[in-house]
Amino acid sequence: MRKISLATITSLFFVLFLICIPDTTVSSDTTKNYTRLMELINMEDRDGPFCVFNDFEQSFDRDLHKANIEFLNQHPELIKKIQSDLNDLPVRWRIESISHRLLYVPETRKEYSALFESYCNDVIRDILKLTEFKNPYIKIHTLGDYKPENSETNGTNVFIVHNLAKEYVTTYVFSSDAQKQVSIELTGKVFPGEVGSYSSYVYLNENGSFEFMRDCYTIWQNSAKNPYTALMTPVEETLHIALRRYTEKAIKNEIENSAAKTVKEVEPIVEDWISVEEAIVGGLVHALLPSIIEKHIHHLPESFVRSDIETKSEFKKYRHLRKGIKIVERLGYKKSIEIYKNDPMMFRNLLI
């Protein structure tokens, strides 16, 4: 059975960002002090020490491969040495393996973690009330310096961390016509730049059938270069998880109506629908979040919102974001949700 991951960052993954509403409460003197939360987000990010979130897994990751290619391009002396070892003959190369795991920097400041959790509770409650979506979350808590236990559940657990990184080990094999080979191993860490991580997958079975499965957890950062990005994430990712079933339904329909049977053939279908889901979610966030933010954090600079849209628009998965914002503005958020729930293809056609 082949697993295809539907991602926000990689071409076969849907990586989503979620949050949940815990039963725990914090003291009233800090719960609503979200101006102070803005100050904490604006503080310098901490990029260590790292803790291990999960075990190494072997799967192709385009972002890591891209980082490795950039490293090789920046070190031409290494390439020259490989060519010399291969007798200066024409060189072919292949990926032998890519292993990677998530690392995180725990949030150890009690004030920060309490305020961020409380803020998440409030804005999620607001967005669920407006959209009438059901609450899909089990628990939200700030992750300490321990590896979490991720058991299967009927909902989603949320782990809040201060920062996220990927650690990787990649082996490349270079060869020539002389049947000589040179192997090199590259290791390192990269910061994905995503404030949240949630995955659902398409499993391709040997008989050609497929099924969808989702992780039972999500990881969140409470930090971002743009404070608005951290503040919008609870709303953005709540909408992602609420609309995911309809995106999966659209993917299923398109695969069944096509000749796609392999990972390579399914990939563009998945990637296309990732961009559609990002478009409607981005449009809904733009329509609903300003009033929610104003309720909890007064006078958030409009430049923060514009900067977030501009930054996202540089990535392929957000290629329909600006048009999604315009469509939701024209239709209204309730009509937009109704269309996507009943016929995701109709919303896609409005974008295309």
- Lowest-confidence pick of 9-23, 106-120, 222-236: 9-23
Q: At 66, is the pLDDT very low, low, confident or very high (cuts 50, 70, 90)?
A: confident
pLDDT of 31 reads 38
pLDDT of 259 reads 84
pLDDT of 151 reads 61
pLDDT of 152 reads 59
- Lowest-confidence pick of 70-84, 128-142, 199-213, 277-291: 199-213
pLDDT of 254 strictly over 60: yes
What does the pLDDT look like over 169-203, one tens digit per residue?
A: 999 999 987 778 999 999 998 887 777 666 777 77
pLDDT of 10 reads 28
What value does the mean pLDDT of the chain take?
A: 84
What does the pLDDT look like over 309-344, one tens digit per residue?
A: 999 999 899 999 999 999 999 999 999 999 999 999
pLDDT of 47 strictly over 90: no
Q: At 153, is the pLDDT very low, low, confident or very high (cuts 50, 70, 90)?
A: low
- Lowest-confidence pick of 67-76, 194-203, 248-257: 194-203
What percentage of the chain carries pLDDT values higher than 70?
88
pLDDT of 200 reads 72
Residues 42-72 as b or e (16 or more Cβ within 10 Å = b) = eeeeeeeebbebeeeeeebbebbbebbeeee
